[in-house]
Each structure stands twice: as C-alpha cells, then as structure tokens.
Structure 1
Amino acid sequence: MTMGLRTWDGSGNLIVDTNTRLSRVLGIIDITSTPGSLTDAGFATGTPFAYQANTVPYAEYDPLSQPSYSALAVSWSGNTMTWKFLENESVAANFADTTAYLAPNKITLIYGVY
C-alpha cells in the first residue's frame, strides 16, 4: 500500500504531494550590527534559508525616525550560519555564495531549511 501526503484545492487541483519542497523554520534570532554566527544541526537536513521579519519598505524610510540601513550578508558553511552587516559596500558585487538583504541595524532573522 502506497502512503504519502496529497492536498488538493477546491477545484480538485493537486497543490501538495510527496515531491513538493516545504520549508521548516528552525529558529528565530534577534541580531544587531555585530557580526555573528549560529550553529544548528538542522541545517544539514535541507537547503538553508534566512529572511528578516521586520523590514521597513524603502518608500516609507525616513532617516530621521528609522534606524540606519546597511547590507546584511548571510552565509552557511556546514551546520553554521554566519551574518554580518556591510555598511557602504556594494551588495550585488561581492556575494556569489551569500544571501544579501537591505536591513536596519537591528533585525529579527528567521532561519530554516527547505
């Protein structure tokens, strides 16, 4: 007997099955402008990702009332995620193996695997 998960929408279209890649959040961390790293064995269980939970849209940015912005680079090596803020550097020019974000100097970073 074959077993697995399948989910359909109201019209009968298959939405999720055993071939669908679903993400899993491993944790949430508040970080500041200080570089840092975090080790989590869960990174070995899939492809790691990270995104920031508190983003101010660029159109609403007011330098007098919002924190200063800088580029945030997040990278992984084995079970370790490393981050650093890169002020006054070109984000696109240097990050072939990292994920770069425009971030305030204190953010909540949500990380996991898919």
Structure 2
Amino acid sequence: MPQGLQVWDAAGNLTLQVSDRLARILGIVQTGAVDGSIAHAGFLTGTPFFIQRATQTGGAMPAKIGIDGTTLSWSYSTGAPVKLNTMIVYGVF
C-alpha cells in the first residue's frame, strides 16, 4: 500500500500528493527600468522559473529575461520609448 501525503478537496478529488512538483519562491526583484542581473545559488536546487509583472502602465517590459546557471538577467529593447519598472518573481520547482 502506498504511503505519503495526499490531500483531497471537499468533492473527493485528489488535489495534491507527495509526487507532485511544487514551486518554491526564491525572491523578487524590481528592474528599476534598466537592464540588469542578479545571482542566486538557489537556481541550482531545481528547475528555475520566473514570472514578470509591470508595476506601472504605458511602456515596455523587458524584452528578454533568462536564467543561466545561477544568474537571472533581463534586458529591454533598445527602441523602447518608455521602459517600465517590472517586478520579476523567481524560484524553482
């Protein structure tokens, strides 16, 4: 008989079990509307991911965001008339 954590909702549907992959947020960075990067050793502890969200309206968010090894970097298009400060939430699952 299998053992481990299993969670069901009120309708009896299995919603979570030990074999599921769960996200772990490592941090949040504000771009300051300029190209940049940060390093975080936590990226090596799982499969990295990021989510971006503009903190204002009326401009361009970073055109390129990527994670390479322990470094998260972002850059804006050179032709963007107004660059938006963008919040990037990053983590691993």
Kindly, what percent of the aligned residue pairs are identical?
34
Whether 1:29 aligns to 2:35 is: no
**Higher normalized helix content (fraction of residues):** 1
Q: Given residue 80 of structure 1, which amino acid in structure 2 is its aligned partner?
A: T
Q: How many residues align?
A: 91
Q: Given residue 69 of structure 1, which amino acid in structure 2 is its aligned partner?
A: A
**In 1: Cα distance, 2:62 partner to 2:30 partner:** 16
Aligned residue for 1:69, secondary structure, equals: coil
Give runs of ≥4 in structure 1 deviating > 4 Å.
Answer: none
**TM-score computed with the length of structure 2 as normaliser:** 0.79
Q: Deviations over 1:44-66 (max 9, x none)?
A: 1111111123467xxxxxxxxx4
1:106 to 78, 85, 89: 85
Q: Contact (CA 8 Å) 2:36, 2:75: kept in 1 or not? A: yes
**In 2: Cα distance, 1:32 partner to 1:55 partner:** 10
The RMSD of aligned alpha carbons is 2.4
Could you tell me which runs of 5 or more consecutive residues in structure 1 were left unpaired when the two chains were aligned.
Answer: 57-65, 90-103
